[in-house]
A and B are shown apart, each in its own frame.
Chain A
């Protein structure tokens, strides 16, 4: 409360100083479809006074009275200049037109990298994401993010992200402000985000602004499109494994309401199911598919209010059915067996924007997020004989999940060009179901059984205040504090987390930046595989298992030279109360509560990152390089000795390029190189102490945990896109290849025997060269 009083005091002082000032505010939107322009720059010409638009496209700039000229610019759009006489508060909405080609754009970037106090933050234009060559032609947001420095992929093809040595659970992945728990389709080969429905992707790896919390390593803030409020339009594509369709448009004729709905489904199962059925003589069938469905509707109530409803549902399902019929003596036996698994997320958000006054913008959000995993096996036997018909059946299933209900309020207060205050609070009710096993049968004498780790309810609360402040003409900072608390099983945890990012402008195009952030995370992901299997369990901090915490410092420099942004950063991060399964434990030890299967420890990561990025022009792309060290120390693992994290990667290099030869023809390529993953590999064996207690007389020596390095990973992907403007819209063909030089990258290593019976280690590779083809249309 003291801090809030201090903040309000500062506001009062500023109001007095700027008594002769007025505020120009409004929304920045795309002229063609009305989409919000997030992070666009509004600058008073000839001065350093300026601001950027927020997540809803709102801006507010308070300036001394008089004639002023504003320059509004955004990446990929033609800049706009507007001169006004500012003698009262003015509402000015701007609609920017996209550049015909990217190199036509006059002022191209959002806030230039060296000007922003924020470090360790990257925006990737969604069009760039869609232009890059990818596995099976499925544009994938998370896989594109893996190409950025400090963000690493896990194993081959996986969409899991590992940021600055953190685990996959330490990323706060938000879709329209709602956390998404499991972002993987098809065991991690694809992510759940359909790029056609996405407007903006922003990644924060460190120096976290106070408005973010609840995870240790990154924030991936994904904003869905609002829906075209000018005309009905759509886009879609047909690929080798999936098809997508997005429709959007206005509702009514006053441009106040618009909608977007987007769907994607794979169809391998539709192709394989009849084949399996035919091959098995009609006795067997099976398949696998996933789908995503995004929807959003928004309505503007007058000039100051807007309501958004957004929805996402995605599900993976694998299934198999086997049917047997046979005669056993005078009995006719019919047996049906079903097995399968499924997992998915459902999220929904209601958001209400309100402009309280030209300087104060508020947003109230109510969200729901649900993740559920289920695996089952069931059979039914029907025996018919002279005495009648006897039916026996059995169902074994296991499921886990997490449900969240959340309410939060966020405010932007911009009293003058020197300050941009943000403050807010949030409360979330979590329900965790960390593994429930059920057995159900109609067999006489048998009992139905449910074994479960207890359902746990928890309440998470946070509040924050931050100020983006121009301290001097050269020194700018983002200073804030995030306070969070967690109530679970009558145990109360809380954490005060100071955050600070500073930027010093050495010259007009060179700055030095530094940041410090502490973070707390009240949920954990228990994983055996580390590759994003749906069996990974989300569990809360409890009275036995403490919340994860971290602190991180970073120092860097940023410079822009002729459209190329250069940034270099060094970072050091320590993490505490990380959890892992104890050696030998797994989620299938059903008789044991998960809390008794885990052990906690520390993590440390440090390194340096280089990013050279060009966002606009005929040629765009980036080079990202990371040099890093990441390790873990758990008292009960590896006999207490520090060991490398599974995804400790000394060198990680990505080269990404998109070249627009003409309006019709675009080529793209990526090349990645990474030090091989660390793994635990048996090295030798020796005779054990004899005794009657062990069935094997051999001990395997694994050396140190994760002590073996797989071979280095490298791969090149290429893509070509032909686009043709037609009367009814745009048509394009995309061709490309994943792993174009057919590198046999290591996926896992296992023991095996050759045809002569000699034992070897074999390295299994997953993806050879895989071409793709996709047809897309837009109208």
Chain B
């Protein structure tokens, strides 16, 4: 496919060169005034955290400050219009935090300011949760390509009204510790960690920006107010420390997030922008922004996780 993709630009280029000498001149652009950038997802399982930075001119290549929050920003958080406090930065370059757990269906807004920059504002809600997800029998079977996969169907009840969801799948993986002395060496399991799994939505009507393989974002357009069921399948190849196949029982965690519209649009449009960047035939894609006077995202979600065990031997 790559060779086809390159053929057209090649001939266009040849055509241009054949008929002319291309000339290059600098383009004058108005100077960019840095604006405040705030990024924050908030849910019932977390307190408020704000990554705060400044936007920069597109021609500014300085990456030095890109990974750190700026200081001197005043961020006030409101719940249903009433102030619940100011987020603070405990150390320079760290995120701003407010120790407060948001509540479902509440409206939250922020107002942030910093000397020399316009004031920014934003608001969003924590959406209503769906019913707790259920999972039917887990199958260890073959997919249409003949590969061994693990498959199950999850379902939940969707509340009436427009809702958006994000679905993630994790598996508990052992954390191996290694011990060695003069005479012997051995390893042991010292707890577990959650590893995110890639999965496939079987027969789902999702585009590549909604279904990225490791997360799925979708709206309830096709099942508003009804039960939603979706079959997913994934490759499950647990290995032991020695690299041997070790098909023992495992703990899975299915996280269904009810996310706000802002959350959905931001995530999908970011995927889309990254996908479009390397495609010469695609229009540039703009990332959704709900920060008035600046950039970034302030978006709520409500999370539920179902933990269950799978055992290939059963």
A interface residues with partner B (beta carbon < 8 Å): 135-136, 157, 186-187, 189, 268, 272, 286, 288, 318, 320, 339-341, 375-377, 396-398, 528-529, 533, 535, 580-581, 583-590, 592, 596, 638-639, 680-690, 692-702, 705, 744, 747, 749, 751-752, 757-768, 770
B7 contacts A341, CB within 8 Å? Answer: yes
- A residues within 8 A CB of B12? 187, 533
B interface residues with partner A (beta carbon < 8 Å): 1, 3-5, 7-8, 10-12, 14-16, 18-27, 29, 32, 35, 37, 39-41, 51, 53-61, 66-67, 196, 207-209, 212, 214-215, 266-267, 269-277, 279, 281-289, 295-297
Cα separation A338 to B19 with both chains bound (whole Å)? 24
Which 3 A-B pairs rank lowest in CB-CB distance, beginning with the nearest? Answer: A586-B281, A689-B39, A686-B55
Q: Which residue in chain B gives the minimum CB-CB distance to A394?
A: B3
> Separation in Å of the A136 CB from the closest CB of chain B?
7
- B residues within 8 A CB of A157? 19
Contacts A684-B32, A684-B57, A686-B37; A584 near B285 (Cβ below 8 A): yes
B270 contacts A687, CB within 8 Å? Answer: no
Contacts A339-B3, A341-B11, A377-B4; A683 near B207 (Cβ below 8 A): no
- A residues within 8 A CB of B209? 584
- A residues within 8 A CB of B22? 747, 764-766
Q: Contact check: which of B15, B27, B58 meets A762 at CB < 8 Å?
A: B27
Cα separation A639 to B272 with both chains bound (whole Å)? 13
- B residues within 8 A CB of A596? 207
A186 contacts B15, CB within 8 Å? Answer: yes
> Separation in Å of the A335 CB from the closest CB of chain B?
14
Q: Contact check: which of B35, B39, B40, B56 meets A688 at CB < 8 Å?
A: B39
A700 contacts B281, CB within 8 Å? Answer: no
Cα separation A375 to B276 with both chains bound (whole Å)? 22
Contacts A684-B32, A762-B27; A694 near B56 (Cβ below 8 A): no
B296 contacts A689, CB within 8 Å? Answer: yes
Q: Which residue in chain A gives the minimum CB-CB distance to B209?
A: A584
- 25 cross-chain CB contacts under 8 A: A272-B18, A288-B15, A528-B281, A535-B8, A583-B276, A584-B209, A584-B282, A588-B279, A639-B288, A682-B58, A682-B284, A683-B29, A686-B296, A688-B39, A701-B58, A701-B295, A705-B283, A752-B24, A758-B59, A760-B59, A761-B27, A761-B59, A764-B22, A766-B16, A768-B20
Cα separation A581 to B58 with both chains bound (whole Å)? 26
- B residues within 8 A CB of A760? 26-27, 59
Q: Which residue in chain A gives the minimum CB-CB distance to B291?
A: A686
B276 contacts A584, CB within 8 Å? Answer: yes
Contacts A136-B19, A187-B11; A686 near B281 (Cβ below 8 A): no
Cα separation A404 to B203 with both chains bound (whole Å)? 36
Cα separation A187 to B12 with both chains bound (whole Å)? 7
Q: Contact check: which of B25, B58, B208, B283 meets A744 at CB < 8 Å?
A: B25
> Separation in Å of the B186 CB from the closest CB of chain A?
32
A764 contacts B283, CB within 8 Å? Answer: no
- B residues within 8 A CB of A638? 286
Q: Contact check: which of A586, A693, A757 meets B282 at CB < 8 Å?
A: A586
Q: Contact check: which of B14, B56, B207 meets A288 at CB < 8 Å?
A: B14
Q: Which residue in chain A gives the minimum CB-CB distance to B22?
A: A764
Cα separation A696 to B274 with both chains bound (whole Å)? 8
A686 contacts B295, CB within 8 Å? Answer: yes
Contacts A341-B11, A588-B5; A694 near B270 (Cβ below 8 A): yes
B273 contacts A700, CB within 8 Å? Answer: yes
Contacts A684-B32, A689-B51; A695 near B7 (Cβ below 8 A): no
Contacts A341-B8, A584-B273, A588-B5; A762 near B24 (Cβ below 8 A): yes
Contacts A581-B283, A686-B53; A763 near B11 (Cβ below 8 A): no
A697 contacts B286, CB within 8 Å? Answer: no
Cα separation A592 to B209 with both chains bound (whole Å)? 13
> Separation in Å of the A4 CB from the closest CB of chain B?
46
- B residues within 8 A CB of A533? 8, 12
- B residues within 8 A CB of A320? 10
Cα separation A320 to B21 with both chains bound (whole Å)? 22
Cα separation A533 to B275 with both chains bound (whole Å)? 22
> Separation in Å of the A593 CB from the closest CB of chain B?
11
Q: Which residue in chain B gives the minimum CB-CB distance to A241?
A: B19
> Separation in Å of the B248 CB from the closest CB of chain A?
26
Q: Contact check: which of A268, A341, A580, A770 meets B20 at CB < 8 Å?
A: A770
Q: Which residue, A689, A693, A751, A761, has most C-beta atoms of chain B within 10 A?
A: A689
- A residues within 8 A CB of B27? 749, 760-763
- B residues within 8 A CB of A135? 19
- B residues within 8 A CB of A759? 58-61
- A residues within 8 A CB of B11? 187, 288, 318, 341
Q: Which residue in chain B gives the minimum CB-CB distance to A683?
A: B58
> Separation in Å of the B129 CB from the closest CB of chain A?
22
Q: Which residue, A187, A377, A585, A758, has most C-beta atoms of chain B within 10 A?
A: A585
B4 contacts A763, CB within 8 Å? Answer: no
Contacts A749-B27, A768-B23; A396 near B283 (Cβ below 8 A): no
Contacts A341-B8, A581-B283, A686-B37; A763 near B26 (Cβ below 8 A): yes
Cα separation A159 to B68 with both chains bound (whole Å)? 50
- A residues within 8 A CB of B8? 341, 375, 533, 535
Contacts A592-B207, A639-B288, A701-B295; A767 near B55 (Cβ below 8 A): no
Task: Using A639-B286, A686-B56, A693-B212 as known contacts, list a sample of 9 further A-B pairs with CB atoms less than 8 Å apart, ordered by residue number in A.
Answer: A187-B15, A288-B18, A377-B7, A590-B1, A684-B57, A686-B296, A689-B297, A699-B273, A766-B19
A189 contacts B7, CB within 8 Å? Answer: no
Cα separation A766 to B22 with both chains bound (whole Å)? 5
Cα separation A699 to B285 with both chains bound (whole Å)? 10
- B residues within 8 A CB of A529? 281
- B residues within 8 A CB of A288? 11, 14-15, 18
Cα separation A751 to B281 with both chains bound (whole Å)? 17
> Separation in Å of the A650 CB from the closest CB of chain B?
19
A680 contacts B58, CB within 8 Å? Answer: no
Cα separation A397 to B1 with both chains bound (whole Å)? 9
Q: Which residue, A690, A694, A699, has most C-beta atoms of chain B within 10 A?
A: A699
- B residues within 8 A CB of A693? 212, 214-215, 267, 271
- A residues within 8 A CB of B55? 684-686, 701
Q: Which residue in chain A gives the minimum CB-CB distance to B263?
A: A689
Contacts A699-B270, A761-B26; A377 near B3 (Cβ below 8 A): yes
- A residues within 8 A CB of B32? 683-684
- A residues within 8 A CB of B37? 686-687
Q: Which residue, A339, A588, A638, has most C-beta atoms of chain B within 10 A?
A: A588
A339 contacts B274, CB within 8 Å? Answer: no
- A residues within 8 A CB of B267? 693
A684 contacts B286, CB within 8 Å? Answer: no
> Separation in Å of the B200 CB from the closest CB of chain A?
14
Cα separation A580 to B27 with both chains bound (whole Å)? 28
Cα separation A8 to B289 with both chains bound (whole Å)? 63
Cα separation A318 to B14 with both chains bound (whole Å)? 10
> Separation in Å of the A440 CB from the closest CB of chain B?
14
- A residues within 8 A CB of B208? 589, 592
- A residues within 8 A CB of B60? 685, 759
A764 contacts B23, CB within 8 Å? Answer: yes
Contacts A189-B15, A339-B7; A687 near B53 (Cβ below 8 A): yes
Cα separation A268 to B279 with both chains bound (whole Å)? 30
- A residues within 8 A CB of B284? 583, 680, 682, 700, 702, 705
A702 contacts B53, CB within 8 Å? Answer: no
Cα separation A187 to B9 with both chains bound (whole Å)? 11
- A residues within 8 A CB of B41? 689
> Separation in Å of the B29 CB from the closest CB of chain A?
6
A583 contacts B4, CB within 8 Å? Answer: no
> Separation in Å of the A513 CB from the closest CB of chain B?
39
Cα separation A533 to B15 with both chains bound (whole Å)? 12
Q: Which residue in chain B gives the minimum CB-CB distance to A710?
A: B27
Cα separation A751 to B24 with both chains bound (whole Å)? 11
B20 contacts A690, CB within 8 Å? Answer: no
Q: Contact check: which of A341, A581, A701, A763 meets B24 at CB < 8 Å?
A: A763
